[in-house]
Structure 1
Amino acid sequence: MIAGVIILVWRSPWRQGLGYLGLLAPLCLHALTEFPFYISLVHWVLFVGLLYLLDRRLGDSRCIPCSATLLPGVFGWLLPLLVIPFMLTTLQAAYLVTRYEKGGGKEPYLLTEVINPVGWAERFTYDSMLLRLKSGEVTGNHEDLRAYYLWAQKFVLHRPRMAVYYNMVLALQHLGDERQAKRLLAYSRWLFMDDPMFDRLLRSGAQPVFDQLKLEHWQLPCGAKFPFSRMECEVTQLGLMFVRDEFNLNEKDSWMRRENL
């Protein structure tokens, strides 16, 4: 698509080409740094509309005759029949998950009403596992606590979030594995530069489960706000050895990349 736009601009009169390029460039540059099309329908419609005008006015159009009529007709009916229910159930999942999160997790039945969690799989899974951790914390169900811990081990390989490490330590404490909990706590404090959040786990008594989705304005020691500009840290050789030894992970799986603030 980018190559096609460049070719059209190159072949067009320079005034028109520069005009369309000036309209499209800000949206393209914005898409490289943030998610304008993900959070704004207006941006997406405007971008597609500009592409259409560019192709309509500066591109070449040709009509290709097609003798086959059955296949296009089948796809013309089949695609809407598949796409429309998927999109509607995705909207339903978005509504229920958002309502559950805004309600502070006090209405767990909302998650059971989700029909199609595929479009919101990450947040749905996160909320479900967090709910399972809370249930295990209250009831003492070791199966729920162990299930959260095993899920979190895989989650932090790609998204090393502070709240998830906190909850992993909490799960180990409730499981009675104090040795492993202390070692993971020490590693978490090292990974997140002795963040004061982990001081709560050093105190006696049960601590509440931390929900990452409510930590958007958690102030870090360096002044950044969690979790959007926070680290996805490259583990040093010492930390890498710790992860492999303690969690039985291989070197490839335990590697994390750094994103500087």
Structure 2
Amino acid sequence: MMNTLNRLAPLPAQRFLLAASLLFWCGGMHLYWPNNGGSGLSLPLNIVAWIYAVVLAGSVSVLLPRRRWRLTLPAVGFMAGALILTFLCLLTPVVWKTEALLVAGALLGGTLLYLAVLQIPLTTHVLTALLTLIWGACLLECLAFVYQYLHLPGVEYWEFAWWRSTRPYGIFQQVNLMASFTACGVLLSALLFLRIHGRARIVIGFACVLMGFVLHECQSQTGYLSLAVGEVLLLAIFPSQRRTLLRLLVPLAAGMAMGAVARHFLSVATVDHLTSSHVRWSVLKTSLALFVERPWIGWGVGSFAAVFLERTGRFGLSSMSHPHNELVLWMVEGGLVGLAGAVCFIAGGFWLWISGNHWRRACLVAALPVVIHMLTEYPVRQSTPHWLLLILLLRCADSAVKRHRLALPATDFVRVAAFIATLAFTPLLLLTLQTQQRLTTAERQSEQWRLAESLPVGGWLMATRYRFDVEMGYLQRYQRTRDARWLAPVRRWAREYVRVHPDPNISFTQILLAQQQRDMSAARRLAARFYLEYPNDRRIPWLQDARRPFNQKME
């Protein structure tokens, strides 16, 4: 294996890129870790992905020879966008600062990874090998999807909730993420089919059948749209290969037909997208109205959920953490400044397209499903594998012909920063993974009361969740001892928590706590707010019952 790696990648940085990518994309990414859902660093998959990114960026910066780092025009655009959006994160009001700093970290970390990988020469063999590894990750996830779909023995490995008629989701635990990842795999199949000859093409053909099946059974509008747009662009990029590309659609269509037959015989439910489309339109209109109110620097990074609920709760839309469009999200939370930062990223991608050859443009097309996911679902940083997939494919699309170079002092600064970040964040992320597993165990066993009150080092990057579990531990102590002193810190915490993370369960708990402490005026006020924010909540009849103490008129 080492001999093969040495032939493919003669430079140390090239070999490390391929070796680390092999371990992550075809190994560590597919290992399931127990979790209770969520996004960001609440998911072990995202933590493992960041470990890969940090180690890759730091190691490459050391392995590269000491010379001025090259800087392409698209890289300048990405750096400018990241710096503008990070500036907005630093300007965010204190109440949302914790969330904003995590966003800034994701932006700067991704940009640093892009700069580091940009320094690695991607020869024909290295480029093909890297694309193949990413394609292999898509293929492995499709195999996991089919395993879950058929409910084969051992499906409990993923804690797959088959009894709820859940659509399979691979390792991602969210169907649209699985669909966009699979769409990337389909487009990479077409790209590799044109680059590779011989028996490997047979494997790609069978993979297209599998990916067509998975994409059809995901029942994701995002997946369908990504595939349709991507295939049209590939036909435009490779006019002399149109017949080959059209033939490759045959196994893809065969896989989709197999999915339709399997859905019929297995009585799998068909998803109705009409309601969700209507909700998306309502959210978009409200988001644009919020942008008009504060057009310059927006409401603050991390503020969308709270501001949106305040404006739309009475209409029954309930809480929503994002507008299902990352561009709109930056418009609301960052105003025109946020839009300018997003435009820098778009301009960088546009320049990659107009300056690239057909192979580099094809790499951009392969990244298109992630971009479409950003514009139809939630922010890409919430799924780190998708974020890293986008970064690597953008790097594959970047040209080494026209470039500038950083000054040597600036290069040394970036290299040292990358190395220090590796030394600091690798152990921190490992501790975060350990803490995430502890929290998951405590939550499942209802033993949050065992958690230490002070925030451990492993909880720094997931402070909000750790604090949540500590407060739930206070409630557990109260239930066991009936000592009212445990309720006071929970009330203080809940008041701040719902300002950042609107949650009907926490808002309802606030009412119960006020009632338990005989603060009827506060209970009445909180109940009135609950009616406005969550008018469709099933607990409202209970709250409105005249027998509730806070509903009784004072004499």
Q: TM-score, normalised by structure 1?
A: 0.62
**Distance in 1 separating the partners of 2:474 and 2:441:** 18
**Distance in 2 separating the partners of 1:147 and 1:200:** 26
The answer for unaligned runs of 5 or more in structure 2 is 1-77, 79-344, 549-555
Residue 163 of structure 1: how far off its partner (Å)? 0.5
Alignment of 1:89 with 2:405, yes or no, is: no
Match of 1:47 in 2: 390
The residue correspondences of 1:28-177 to structure 2 (distance < 5 A) are: 28-32=371-375, 33-39=377-383, 41=385, 43-55=386-398, 57=399, 59-61=401-403, 66=408, 75=417, 78-103=420-445, 105-106=446-447, 108-110=449-451, 114-177=456-519
Residue 110 of structure 1: how far off its partner (Å)? 4.8
**Distance in 1 separating the partners of 2:504 and 2:417:** 47
Which residue identity does 1:106 align to in structure 2?
E
- Residue 81 to residue 147, structure 1, CA distance change in 2 (3 Å): same
Higher relative contact order (CA 8 A, sep 6+): 2
**Distance in 1 separating the partners of 2:406 and 2:379:** 37
**Distance in 2 separating the partners of 1:58 and 1:71:** 22
Quick check: 24-33 or 61-70, which moved more? Answer: 61-70
Match of 1:19 in 2: 362
**Distance in 2 separating the partners of 1:116 and 1:180:** 36
| 3-state SS, counterpart of residue 539 of structure 2 | helix
Q: Is the 1:166–1:198 contact (alpha carbons within 8 Å) kept by the matching residues of 2?
A: no
Render the CA deviation track for 1:163-213: whole Å, top value 9, x for unaligned. Answer: 1111111111221223432342233234311622244455979xxxxxxxx
Render the CA deviation track for 1:142-182: whole Å, top value 9, x for unaligned. Answer: 33212111221122223331111111111112212234323
- Residue 107 to residue 64, structure 1, CA distance change in 2 (3 Å): closer
Match of 2:350 in 1: 6
| 3-state SS, counterpart of residue 34 of structure 1 | coil
- Residue 36 to residue 148, structure 1, CA distance change in 2 (3 Å): same
Q: Is the 1:96–1:111 contact (alpha carbons within 8 Å) kept by the matching residues of 2?
A: no
**Distance in 2 separating the partners of 1:136 and 1:64:** 60
In angstroms, what is the RMSD of aligned CA positions? 3.4
Which residue identity does 1:85 align to in structure 2?
P
Render the CA deviation track for 1:16-53: whole Å, top value 9, x for unaligned. Answer: 46423322222112124224553352x34432221221
**Distance in 2 separating the partners of 1:101 and 1:203:** 35
- Residue 185 to residue 138, structure 1, CA distance change in 2 (3 Å): farther
Identity over aligned residues, as a percent?
Answer: 22
**Distance in 2 separating the partners of 1:20 and 1:4:** 14
**Distance in 1 separating the partners of 2:362 and 2:411:** 40
Q: Is the 1:12–1:58 contact (alpha carbons within 8 Å) kept by the matching residues of 2?
A: no
- Count of residues in correspondence between the two structures: 201
Q: Which structure features the higher share of helix residues? A: 2
- Residue 98 to residue 59, structure 1, CA distance change in 2 (3 Å): farther
- Residue 124 to residue 183, structure 1, CA distance change in 2 (3 Å): same
Q: TM-score, normalised by structure 2?
A: 0.32
**Distance in 1 separating the partners of 2:350 and 2:517:** 59
Q: Is the 2:429–2:458 contact (alpha carbons within 8 Å) kept by the matching residues of 1?
A: no
